[in-house]
A and B are shown apart, each in its own frame.
Chain A
Amino acid sequence: MNIGSFEAVKVGIGRSVKNWRLVILVYIINIFFAAVLAIPIASMFARDVSNSLAGSNLLDGFNSTAVRWYVEFINANKTFFSSLLPQIAMIFLLYIALEVFLAGGFYSVFSTKERLKLRDFISKGSSYFFPLLVVTIMEVALLGLVYLGNSLWVSADKDAAGIALADYMVLRAELWRYGIVLFVSVIVFLLADFIRAAVVIDNDDFWSKVKRGLSFAGRHPLATSGVYLSGISISAAVIALFFLFRFWSENRTGIEVAIEIVVSQLIILFRIL
């Protein structure tokens, strides 16, 4: 387990490529769930614009006429959009459950240099589903506490001297606060990941594994932080590229639309990787 952070990222990507079928599996699951969410909205959208001149405006990006269409579209279908919220929440929960299931398989994949068969992958996933679900619930609960603490902190600040601060001072204070929240969240993610790894790799009882995971994270703070920072940097760069691409893509031709679709999907694949 003595491995540098960048080395860990390299090895992780290498093993993902080696098990590309699994990456494709995750991609298919992602696109399936997204499609379940998107199809009702998309079909309504298609019905609304396919024969309207609004479509041409939308093709040019969000100019003012497109904004106008958007405003009207949302307003005309507001009941429908509101009714979608429970459905969206349910799909997200299902997706998380499936991710938890897959996580068992993935940790097994990354703990061995061999390419894992799909049958083994699924078997590992089902073996570790409930312990990993418990870890995820604990993680979510812990994150919930962090954000609850933050909101209490914010309201306490506003009640006290915060309101008297000049705007830029408030902003500076907020930046600090969100920096701290982000840092604590990363620590929580980090701990949860090591606990998951310990759950899959070790054979002790659940709480021993939790302790082992925590102890490992404590003994190798730099390495573990490095892995996360590398991950965050890569994700941030990918997301930045995504938005830059979106800003650029004021499409006008079929080719440009096709390029946008391909690049967007490649970005999704890269994020999965």
Chain B
Amino acid sequence: MISLYGIFRAVGSRDPACKKPPLISGIFPVYYSVISLFFLLSVPLALSQPFSNRIANYKIDVRLDPKSHSIDASEILNWHNESDQPVGELFFHLYNNAYKSERTTYMRENDAEISSAARGWIDIDKIVDQRTESDITAAIKFVQPDDNNPHDSTVILVKLDKPVAPHDSISLMIYFHSLLPEANTGVDPYGPRAGWAPGREFYFVAQWFPKVGVYSTGSPGESGRWNCHQFHGFTEFFADFGAYDVQITVPVHYTVGACGERLSEDVNPDGTATYRYVASDVHDFAWTASPDFLTRSRTFKYPGLPETKIILMLQPEHRDQEGRFFADIDTAMKYFGTWYGPYPYPNITVVDAPRTTDVGGMEYPTLIAVDTKDYNPNDVLSTENVIVHEFGHQYWYGMVANNEFEEAWLDEGMNTYSTGKILEKGFGANTSVFRIAGVYPIYLYPIWNIAGIPAAAIIGKIRVHNPYDELPLYLKYAKSDAISEFGYNVPDYDVYETIAYDKPALVLHTLEGVLGPDVMAGEMRTYFNEFKFKHPTSKDFQKVCEQVSGKNLDWFFSQFIYGTNVVDFAVKSISYYRETNLNTGSSSYVTKVVVARNGEVTMPVDLRLSLEDDVVIDTVWSGQSRWQTFEFRTQSAPEYAQLDPWNKIPIDIDYSNNSLRVDAFLLPVVKWVHAILNYFQNMLLNVGVLV
């Protein structure tokens, strides 16, 4: 296998100075026959028992040139046409072209500027159809299926001389080179999540190769279509599963990490080293290289779950956080494994990205990029949050691979929901990433809005988990758009974050409240197991929920996933009188509670009447009408009425109007009115320092 690869490199690799590969037409037939044979043999050997349909398979040979921040590569794509129709053209993503200028769709949607030194791009030098040995480079056409932006070159269409027959495959040999972008361009909220780090020898190479789109086979009788969106400002990715066999050549003193498993490493006479990685049943491949990494590894072990090798690639200044990283990834693997299903890959690589880049906080199959702070007290759970969240993407994105362009909530929302639950389970209920000595230092924050953001958004940094940390942004953008809207169709990142992360997490917590935690756990587990290594949609998730719960949930999904209405239940009034039975002489209390539906969402909600003798009476209001009066006849006087006493509907936009006391309780009012007064007293004294 190594020697075959040596032949491949000798013939197929290029002089870095020469961008155009030599055309050795005379040996093409033999050469490609050998390569194809090798490809067919080597990839299945990597994993004998395929988990997925392996539609898009890649064999890539890439060389990094740190001096110019560029890569030079060749790629063999083996693509399988699963449909019943011939396919005459292929669509490819060229994601790196998003950083080519300020006029690309990605940059325009981020309203961003990018200096010429920070830019990146990818150029295809040549494409050869291995079936016919014909050079089809001239058939490349840049297309902009989403916005017709002529300056965007993140998608290409390649017209084939000969269509790919139904259930047949095609192999393309693609030569390309790419300039990596600076992985921190100041683009808000995120710049390139890959590239080179300024001031450090650090490369994170992701979305870097010509990547074939997803050919949707369509319903029976319908023709298929390509799903290959441009690279947008906020949305992420979508690709078919396959097997990857990647050889990475870097300077010999670099440490390399990548998706999948390392099969070999060879030192070359030119001062470089070549590492070979294989990853199967994945839909992307990323890698990283730096001389600074401290690499550590351990084995994850937990009863009932398969052993997994954890490879941790730390920044040197974070060496003291090694134990914390391993503990966090252990926690994530334990809960994801036991709640949803075992992690099936042999390893997971955790890359600690320098915090001067935007690389941290991204997920790739079997590899996650995270970051941490240099001073990071144990009470500050930001590291835990990012590690658990990114590992969670191995499930929601990695294995259950929805279309992130179109239905980002299926991975980001589910993962935010799962992350919150795991943080609560693993690190304590109501834990916070900003807690000092067990107290939320609310006093440190101003009490009014800052730049239009409620102070709550600052508290959002506190991230009181499950499910309250999603509230600030949701409250601000509650009606901005439906969860089902395509991510690239929303006006800005905050709205995207709301419909992809925060609102879906609140919706899932609400669904859990409606159906009960056990049913919800069953739904999530079933959804994972039915759709791992597939491309599910919202409708698939709804179907699973209905199957597991045995209930029709159209009312729930139509309002929360496909609608923009909000929930706001309120207790409008509570009053009572004492009634004496003249015949028996006994007396009772008659309490009238008026409840109202201020929001448009209709759903059942629990109503509780609490009495002075600690007795509670629970009932359910259908929540269909705008208001309703409930009458209770009791032996003791009422104390308060409360809607949703168990907080089953955390998506309610105003929880403080969910309850009403018969008598005012003034102690907290006194405490907090004084706190507000005292705050201003201190502020005035601080200003008085000037005089």
Contact = CB atoms under 8 A, between A and B. Distances in A.
Contact of B656 (A52, A62, A260, A265): A52
B248 to A, nearest CB: 25
Contacts of B691: 96, 99-100, 102-103, 132, 136
Interface in A54-103: 54-56, 58-59, 61-64, 67-76, 78, 81-82, 84-85, 92, 95-96, 99-100, 102-103
* 4 A-B pairs with least C-beta separation: A164-B199, A71-B456, A34-B680, A55-B668
B680 A74 contact: no
Interface stretch (A11-19, A39-47, A115-123, A198-206): A39-47
Contact of B374 (A55, A168, A257): A168
Contacts of A84: 448
A8 interface: no
Interface residues of A, number: 78
Given A161-B199, A171-B375, A264-B674, A45 B687 contact: no
Interface stretch (A145-153, A210-218, A219-227, A240-248): A240-248
Interface string A181-192: 000000001000
A255 B656 CA distance: 26
A261 interface: yes
A108 interface: no
B392 interface: no
A38 B679 CA distance: 9
A56 B436 CA distance: 22
Interface string A114-137: 000000000000000000100010
Given A52-B660, A75-B454, A82-B448, A165 B356 contact: yes
Given A69-B655, A96-B688, A171-B375, A58 B672 contact: yes
A260 B184 contact: no
A48 interface: yes
Nearest to A261: B674
Contacts of B430: 63-64
B611 to A, nearest CB: 15
A156 interface: no
A107 B396 CA distance: 69
Interface size class of B (residues with CB under 8 A): 35 or more
B674 A163 contact: no
A173 interface: no
B661 A95 contact: no
A104 B459 CA distance: 42
B18 interface: no
B437 A247 contact: yes
A63 B436 CA distance: 13
Contacts of B454: 71, 74-75, 78
Given A51-B664, A67-B459, A99-B690, 7 more contacts: A54-B659, A58-B671, A59-B668, A64-B468, A74-B454, A82-B449, A268-B685
B440 A62 contact: yes
A32 to B, nearest CB: 10
Contacts of A55: 665, 667-669
Given A38-B676, A55-B665, A268 B682 contact: yes
Interface string B441-465: 1110001110010111001001010
Contacts of B436: 247
A139 B654 contact: no
B459 A49 contact: no
B669 A53 contact: no
A243 B679 CA distance: 11
B476 interface: yes
B371 to A, nearest CB: 9
B471 interface: yes
Q: Which of B459, B661, B684 has the most CB of A within 10 A?
A: B684
B655 A99 contact: no
B426 interface: no
